[in-house]
């Protein structure tokens, strides 16, 4: 972990500080592009990884950010029913234009514009979760309840019952 952060990670650190959070962005010695990579690099349970996935609403074309527990597969039909609008996984260009970050390092905060955000209720089982911080090897830890508060997320089940951690 290094003291110098890439620009994207610095933006996340500034967003954390601007929200009054003491969380610190750290750069890992290896990639944390996937939830399992992140858990292995950090030394935490995969369920404690808060992965940020961007979807596109079919009705408006607007982005929806889903912050899910590491092993949980987001059930698009379930989430669509909660939003009263179909959603589909967004491509890399849409993710970058909606968030200002590339896939693999999308954080749950610090985006270029406000995003409709849903947070997986499974993350609230933990005192601490780890989230991407702008690059595939930058992360920060946070109490998931604080994360929900700061990002204005709506907490709900995002994975089908048989596919939850």
What does the domain layout of the chain look like in residue ranges? Answer: 7-163
**93 φ/ψ angles, rounded to the nearest 5 degrees:** -65, -45
Q: Rounded to whole angstroms, how far apart are CA atoms 58 and 66? A: 15
β-bridge partners, 64: 55, 116
CB 88 within 8 A of CB 55: yes
pLDDT attached to residue 108 = 98
Closest C-alpha to 3, from 32, 23, 27: 27
Looking at residue 162, the DSSP 8-state letter turns out to be G
Rounded distance between C-alpha atoms, residue 163 and residue 132, angstroms? 22
pTM: 0.93
pLDDT band at 31 (very low <50, low <70, confident <90, very high): confident
Q: Which fold has domain 7-163?
A: YbaK protein (3.90.960)
Report the SS3 class of residue 52.
strand
6-15, 23-32, 110-119: least confidently modelled range? 23-32
Q: Is the pLDDT of residue 127 over 50?
A: yes
Helices marked H in the chain: 7-18, 35-42, 76-83, 92-99, 144-151
pLDDT(4) > 70: yes
Beta pairing, strands 129-132 & 49-57: parallel
How far apart CA 159 and CA 138 sit, in angstroms, is 26
């Amino acid at each position: 972990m290094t003291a110098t952060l890439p620009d994207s990670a610095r933006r996340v650190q500034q967003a954390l500080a601007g929200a009054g959070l003491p969380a610190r962005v750290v750069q890992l010695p290896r990639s944390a592009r996937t939830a399992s990579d992140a858990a292995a690099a950090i030394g935490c349970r995969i369920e404690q990884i808060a992965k940020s996935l961007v979807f596109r609403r079919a009705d408006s074309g607007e982005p929806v950010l889903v912050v899910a527990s590491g092993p949980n597969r987001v059930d698009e039909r379930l989430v669509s029913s909660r939003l009263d609008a179909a959603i589909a996984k967004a491509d890399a260009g849409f993710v970058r234009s909606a968030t200002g970050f590339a896939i693999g390092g999308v954080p749950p905060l610090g985006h270029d514009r406000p995003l409709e955000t849903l947070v997986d209720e499974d993350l609230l089982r933990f005192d601490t979760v780890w989230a991407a911080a702008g690059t595939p090897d930058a992360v920060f830890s946070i109490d998931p309840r604080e994360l929900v508060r700061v990002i204005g997320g709506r907490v709900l089940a995002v994975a089908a019952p048989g596919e939850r951690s």
